[in-house]
Amino acid sequence: FAAASRVTAEGAEWFRSMGTADSAGTRLLSVAGDCRAPGVYEVQWGVTLDDVLAMVGASDARAVQISGPSG
């Protein structure tokens, strides 16, 4: 539902142009802990963990916990 208004404005093809062939669109990630910019981020499906860690400024990550619907 996070992107519903934007999909309505831009169209379904716009949303499908993001992500991967198997998982189109975006997803929300919640990032907390020892990083420069904790928060909730909307990222395209297929983004790598390295990309997320770089985006939030977690330059010396020693562990990552994946939970909830994602894992």
Q: What is the pLDDT of residues 2-22, one digit of tens each?
A: 778 989 999 999 999 999 999
Question: Distance from CA of residue 28 to its chain's centroid?
Answer: 5
Task: Count the helix, strand and coil residues of the chain and give each as a percent rounded to the nearest 5.
Answer: 30, 20, 50
Confidence at residue 20, expressed as pLDDT on a 0 to 100 scale? 94
- Reported as a pLDDT band with limits 50, 70 and 90, residue 65 is confident
Over residues 31-59, the pLDDT tens digits come to: 999 999 999 999 999 999 999 999 999 99
Confidence at residue 70, expressed as pLDDT on a 0 to 100 scale? 58
Confidence at residue 3, expressed as pLDDT on a 0 to 100 scale? 79
Extents of the domains making up the chain: 4-70
